[in-house]
Chain A
Amino acid sequence: MILFGILVVLSPEKQDKQDGIELSDPLLLSFLALLIATIVIIRFLGFYPAVLLSLPVCLVLFGERNYGKILLFTTMTTGMIYLIIDMTLGGRLP
């Protein structure tokens, strides 16, 4: 870790690739919060409730405002996950 730190600090190249996005970007933080919430919901409520709750929020965060499309997409995605994982692959989601 010490060597890693020294190399990063010494490197003259690191400034070249820094992007304009701040880690405090509200959108970035919102997505991280959504990710954490989704994982917590998966762990305690199960996968399908998590998808049904987080997918619409995710789309709203993306800027989608057509609630009909959001509902349709959420339902279709959940159905597709069920078909692929549970029916086709025989997997068990929590």
Chain B
Amino acid sequence: LTELFHNAATGMHLLLQWQILFAAAGGVMIGLIMGAIPGLSDIIAICLMVPFTFYLNPIAGIALLMGLSKGANFGGAIPAILFNIPGTPQAVITAFDGYPLAKEGKAGKALKTALYSSCIADTLSDCVLFFFAAPVAMAAIMIGPTEHAAVVVFALTLISITSETGPIIGMASMLLGLLLSCIGADPLSGAPRLAFGSTELSAGIDIVPMALGFFVVSEIIWQICLDKRKKLSSRELQVGWENKGTDHSFSFSEFRQCAPAIARGTLIGSAIGALPGIGTTVGSYLSYVATKKASKHPEKFGNGALEGIAAAESGNNACNGPNLIPLITLGIPGNLAAALILGAFTMQGLTPGPMFMEQQAPMLYALFIVLFFSNFFTFGFGAIFSNLIRKMVSIPKNYIYSAVLIFALIGTYIVHSDTFDLYYTLGFSIIGLLCRKGGIPMIPMLIAYILGPSLELKVRQTMDLYSDDFTVFFTKPISCAFLALSVILIAYTVYRRLRLHKAGNSQPLTEIKETEL
């Protein structure tokens, strides 16, 4: 504990650079705006900003991305409450009770509930990260390459089977990601692999063009086509609730009424966040369901219950802190946002993993403290600028999408100053469109692409250590447990999905309707 506070004090000293807090504040503001604009998720925001972190020092760069993630998490709730159009996928659940309240003329009350719940849960979850990262890292140091490889396999399995299109497609996508990760130089011999004689390919493919192609360019093109098909216009968002009622206050008794929901959401979200692949939407959903079940008035849920908003927002924001524990201690990203942050770490020449906490403790604690500052910024900006930000929702999408496409191309170029990277973005955009058409999730592919080199290295280190004896993965208790758990998870999920499919009940979480909760 003494060492923890010593590192925190050293980290605090690093924070004295104005650039870091400015980056965090800027990240929160950009995140709030981009999260509030439907069609631009937190993922698009992070993808767009990752290349720009290259120009900042490591702490400022990562602080920017973390601030972005936090800002976008709350920003998504703004259009969800005001227009019933979630700005981010995790805000779907917030809309269940937020929008009915807005229709009653209590939009301000709903927004304040969302803001307070988000910031409290986020701060508490950051405390979990602050106090638990070091013990987990200490445990991680004790495991060898065999166990590390098994943990990566387990994480990849979890990420694949929880993908919204189902476990089999998820695993297929993960395998493709692993295959893509083999492109480039062999990590041990340096010989080019799958390069087909191309010098550019033999250097490997960077994460930035891949992420921008998959999650920005193809997403924007897909959204444009969907919007045109549905004839959606952002001008349609002007709804008639604004002149109804003026109850925008949030009293202390209302806060006390929401406190159990916030506490429950924080616990559930923190537990979900620490597991790879589960994601904030699930945290939000489970927290909402648990609060509804525990409520004396479950009939109010879906009709404007403040506890519903508090549960949903605390559930999704509480995932933020613990989500970084596997990333920092094992180098395993818990979700796509963490994977992109891992990409940013790598771009800065830093490699998260078991030794990272020991080698970079002051820097990491500086980042942990920045998280608390980011919550403070989210609270401040959310309280001050919510009204202004909601006006941005009505900016025509034509302009926003065009600018995003151009910035995606700039982001691709500026990392290596190589125009060839633009072809990668084009290629991954086309693959992204094909995946969207075929219902193939891209998140397992990208995370497998990121984890592939680490998995390969650990497996080869194990093979070197144990004279190519592959059975060592099954004779060591920890690795055997993780591999067995992976097999059990796959078998159970496939069995369950097939049963549901036969019964015609297969439904992804993102399509859950309010009436079914």
Chain B 145-185, CB-CB to A under 8 Å as 1, else 0, gives 00000000000000000001110110110011001000000
In the complex where A11-B166, A19-B436, A21-B229 touch, is A31 in contact with B221 (Cβ < 8 A)?
yes
Give min CB distance, A86 to chain B, whole Å: 11
Among B69-77, B90-98, B411-419, the one that faces the other chain is B411-419
Is the C-beta of B6 less than 8 angstroms from some C-beta in chain A?
Answer: no
In the complex where A14-B165, A43-B422, A62-B224 touch, is A23 in contact with B434 (Cβ < 8 A)?
yes
Contact B226 A19 (CB under 8 A): yes
Is the C-beta of B508 less than 8 angstroms from some C-beta in chain A?
Answer: yes
Contact B439 A81 (CB under 8 A): no
Q: Which of B361-408 contact A (CB under 8 A)?
A: 396-399, 401-403, 405-407
Q: State in angstroms the CA–CA spacing of A18 and B171 once bound together.
A: 18
Contact B225 A27 (CB under 8 A): yes
Contact B165 A17 (CB under 8 A): yes
Contact B172 A8 (CB under 8 A): yes
Q: State in angstroms the CA–CA spacing of A56 and B433 once bound together.
A: 23
Q: Which residues of A contact B438 (CB under 8 A)?
A: 8, 14, 18
Chain A 15-58, CB-CB to B under 8 Å as 1, else 0, gives 11111110101011001100110110011000100010011001
Contact B433 A13 (CB under 8 A): no
Tally of chain A residues near chain B (CB < 8 A): 48
In the complex where A1-B179, A17-B439 touch, is A31 in contact with B409 (Cβ < 8 A)?
no
Tally of chain B residues near chain A (CB < 8 A): 54
Interface of A: prevailing SS: helix
In the complex where A7-B169, A7-B171, A16-B506 touch, is A38 in contact with B409 (Cβ < 8 A)?
yes
Chain B 224-242, CB-CB to A under 8 Å as 1, else 0, gives 1110110000000000000
Q: Which residues of B contact A63 (CB under 8 A)?
A: 228, 398
A/B interface sample: 14 pairs, CB < 8 A: A4-B179, A7-B169, A13-B439, A14-B166, A17-B165, A18-B437, A21-B229, A27-B224, A35-B426, A39-B419, A62-B401, A73-B399, A81-B406, A81-B407
Residues of B in contact with A (beta carbons under 8 Å apart): 52, 55, 164-166, 168-169, 171-172, 175-176, 179, 217, 221-222, 224-226, 228-229, 396-399, 401-403, 405-407, 409-410, 413-414, 417, 419, 422-423, 425-426, 429-430, 433-434, 436-440, 497-498, 501, 506, 508
Residues of A in contact with B (beta carbons under 8 Å apart): 1, 3-4, 7-8, 10-21, 23, 25, 27-28, 31-32, 35-36, 38-39, 42-43, 47, 51, 54-55, 58-59, 62-64, 73, 77, 81, 85, 89-94
